[in-house]
Amino acid sequence: MDRAAVDAKIRELAEPFNKKGIEIKEDTTFAGDLEFDSLTVMDFVAAIEDEFDIIISMNQQAEIETYGQLVDAVHKQQADR
Amino acid sequence: MSEGVSQPDRPEPREGDGKDLFSKFDDVIAMREGLLARGVEDPFSLVMEQVLSPTRAVCNGRDTILLGTYNYMGMTFDPDVVEAGKQALADFGSGTTGSRVLNGTYQGHKDVEDALREFYGMDHAMVFSTGYQANLGIISTIAGKGDYIVLDIDSHASIYDGCKLGDAEIVPFRHNDIEAMEKRLKRIPEGAGKLVILEGVYSMLGDVAPLKEMVRIAKENGAMVLVDEAHSMGFIGDNGRGVVEDAGVMDDVDFIIGTFSKSVGTVGGFCVSNHPKFEIMRLVCRPYVFTASLPPSVVATACTSIRKLMHGSNKRAHLWENSRTLHAGLKKLGFTLGTEEPQSAIIAVIMPDLEQGAGMWEALIKNGLYVNLARPPATPANMTLLRCSLCAEHSEEEVSQILDIFERAGKLVGII
């Protein structure tokens, strides 16, 4: 799957969690812009993990602040599989 | 009432010296100020001026029933336990002033580890200075860089801190979700070390883990299993060994972590295990090595208490009666509870929000009842909870008094 396809899929998965319908760009932050709390993060991460059959550990999550970084991390992981 | 106990500190903005490292706490400071500005008694600076028994104390000047102490088996004033402590204090002095691996292992430390081995029927027991350190030490030492820890998202702070200290990859799953746990285990790269961490009883809602299935799946996937039984020791399972015993998985669990600060009635933590190489932990586990060991009086009280808990079946039965009566009574009064049925000695009453929770806590304390107020971020789903933990020494009469106070307070605050 190329980066654009990963992006499209994650965008789709993010939709139910983006309650305020904020426009998601590459530099949109999860904690700041999207106001994700820890529970939302868990559910969102679980949805991505299940979709791509990967693990995004809490250690990796701590390094991911923006939407673009998330797409990069998922793209890299599923490419490495 | 004591002067000042309900007064919050009033921080002044600090000038100069560059960035104030305390600025990251501004949100918490603001939340606390907002709560106390409404004149509520501070739930987080209660002082017990006198402790009368495992179930009674004078708190902020009032005679109070204690319903939030985790003193499940009421061992803190047991005459044999107190006597053992006095004797050890007289014979061995007030403290060891040393690490367990240097000058800090006295006869009493060996005795309490023997008592634990017998209590759990396990080959090895290792005593730490607190339960927090037991989790911190064992987890961080056995799961290091490149290993994977799969754990319940609602795990205790000491478990998360142990994970972080050890530098393993941390993979949480939704609370008590067997399928979510299994999926994550199966995704771990081949050849990596795997540790599954579960708790017997989760202290926030007082609910129990489905250990039978979870432990089986963990083993099938080649993981070692650690279960924290802090909130079940002494009264769950036929011999009080905890949820692992009740679920029939004692032999499949690699490590049980526990504490002396709940049912045992003093302070300290431990790990028991049948792992053949377990004793090496005494040399490689930093939170065990680089701290002073427990004082002789503490290990003596713990040892006596643990041996008495082996024969505590009447007390266990009464504690369960108390738990069932309180659960049914609160439900009938119209409170929302953390579990549909009582699963442990913790009953969590769910509050609509922090403001009403604090109001309810205050109404209870003013009517002579102490419970724990638990608030985000320590709580699951950002709930505000009034956490009640029962004691085997609560009389039937005290439980009915507790229900009366809840009814009065609930109506006053308008929750029921």
Average pLDDT over residues B174-194: 97
| Confidence at residue B22, expressed as pLDDT on a 0 to 100 scale | 93
Q: What is the mean pLDDT of chain B?
A: 94
B171/A57 Cβ within 8 A: yes
Is the pLDDT assigned to residue B8 strictly greater than 70? no
Residues of chain A in contact with residue B163, where contact means CB-CB under 8 angstroms, are 58
Positions of CATH 3.90.1150.10 in chain B = 36-73+313-413
B187/A49 Cβ within 8 A: yes
Nearest to B150 by CA among B177, B179, B181: B181
Q: Is the distance from CB of B64 to CB of B365 less than 8 angstroms? A: yes
Is the pLDDT assigned to residue A9 strictly greater than 90? yes
Kindly indicate whether the domain formed by B78-309 is annotated with CATH number 3.40.640.10. yes
Average pLDDT over residues A24-31: 94
Q: Distances from the Cα of A65 to the Cαs of A41, B123, B374, in angstroms?
A: 11, 46, 29
Q: What is the DSSP letter of A23?
A: P
Residues of chain A in contact with residue B153, where contact means CB-CB under 8 angstroms, are 42
Q: Which residues pair with A9 in a beta bridge?
A: none
Q: To the nearest whole angstrom, how far is the Cα of B150 from the nearest Cα of chain A?
A: 9
Locus of tokens 């979709």: A51
| Confidence at residue B31, expressed as pLDDT on a 0 to 100 scale | 84
| Confidence at residue B300, expressed as pLDDT on a 0 to 100 scale | 98
* Domain limits for position A30: 3-80
Supply the residues of A annotated as catalytic.
Answer: 37
Q: List residues of B whose CB lies inside 8 A of any A CB.
A: 148, 153, 163, 169-174, 180, 183-184, 187-188, 377, 381-382
Percent of chain A scored above 90 by pLDDT? 84
Q: What is the mean pLDDT of chain A?
A: 94
Q: To the nearest whole angstrom, how far is the Cα of B272 from the nearest Cα of chain A?
A: 28
Q: Is the distance from CB of B74 to CB of B393 less than 8 angstroms? A: yes
A39/B180 Cβ within 8 A: no
| Confidence at residue B10, expressed as pLDDT on a 0 to 100 scale | 67
Q: Which residue of A has its CA nearest to B153?
A: A42
Residues of chain A in contact with residue B148, where contact means CB-CB under 8 angstroms, are 55, 57
Positions of CATH 3.40.640.10 in chain B = 78-309
CATH of B36-73+313-413 among 3.40.50.620, 3.40.50.300, 3.90.1150.10, 1.10.520.10:
3.90.1150.10
Q: Is the distance from CB of B230 to CB of B204 less than 8 angstroms? A: no
CA-CA distance, A59 to A77, in Å (whole number)?
14
Which pTM value belongs to this model? Answer: 0.94
A59/B169 Cβ within 8 A: yes
ipTM for this model: 0.93
CA-CA distance, B176 to B139, in Å (whole number)?
20
Average pLDDT over residues B151-166: 96
| Confidence at residue B310, expressed as pLDDT on a 0 to 100 scale | 95
- The residues, any chain, with a CB within 8 Å of residue B313's CB and separated by 6 or more, are none
Q: Is B42 exposed, middle or buried (0-12, 13-18, 19+ CB in 10 A)?
A: middle
CATH number at residue A33: 1.10.1200.10
| Confidence at residue B37, expressed as pLDDT on a 0 to 100 scale | 86
Q: Is the dihedral of CA B251, B256, B259, B260 positive or negative?
A: positive
CA-CA distance, B317 to B335, in Å (whole number)?
25
Percent of chain B scored above 70 by pLDDT? 97
Model confidence at B44, pLDDT cuts 50, 70, 90, reads: confident
| B163, B174, B382: residue with CB nearest A42 | B174
Nearest to B211 by CA among B202, B203, B51: B202
Q: Which residue of B has its CA nearest to A56?
A: B171
Percent of chain B scored above 90 by pLDDT? 88
Strand order across the beta sheet in which B56-59 lies = B48-53, B56-59, B62-66, B369-370
Model confidence at B4, pLDDT cuts 50, 70, 90, reads: very low
| B174, B188, B377: residue with CB nearest A46 | B174
The type of residue at B251 is D
Structure tokens at A81: 């599989």
Q: Which residue of A has its CA nearest to B181?
A: A46
Structure tokens at B290: 């680089």
Interface test with B, best of A37, A59, A61 (most B CBs within 10 A): A59
Is the pLDDT assigned to residue B217 strictly greater than 80? yes
Q: Distances from the Cα of B412 to the Cαs of A53, B133, B373, B406, B416, in angstroms?
A: 52, 42, 18, 10, 9
Average pLDDT over residues B17-34: 88
Q: Which residue of B has its CA nearest to A51?
A: B183
Q: Distances from the Cα of B13 to the Cαs of B7, B16, B29, B54, B211, in angstroms?
A: 19, 10, 12, 42, 50
| Confidence at residue B278, expressed as pLDDT on a 0 to 100 scale | 98
State in Å, rounded, how far the first CA of chain A is from the last one: 11
Is the pLDDT assigned to residue B247 strictly greater than 90? yes
Domain count, chain A: 1
Query: Using omega within 30 degrees of 0 as the cis cutoff, is the peptide bond preceding B8 cis?
Result: no
B187/A42 Cβ within 8 A: no
Is the pLDDT assigned to residue B2 strictly greater than 50? no
Q: Distances from the Cα of B212 to the Cαs of A25, B139, B155, B245, B246, in angstroms?
A: 45, 22, 18, 10, 9
Assign B367 to helix, strand or coil: coil
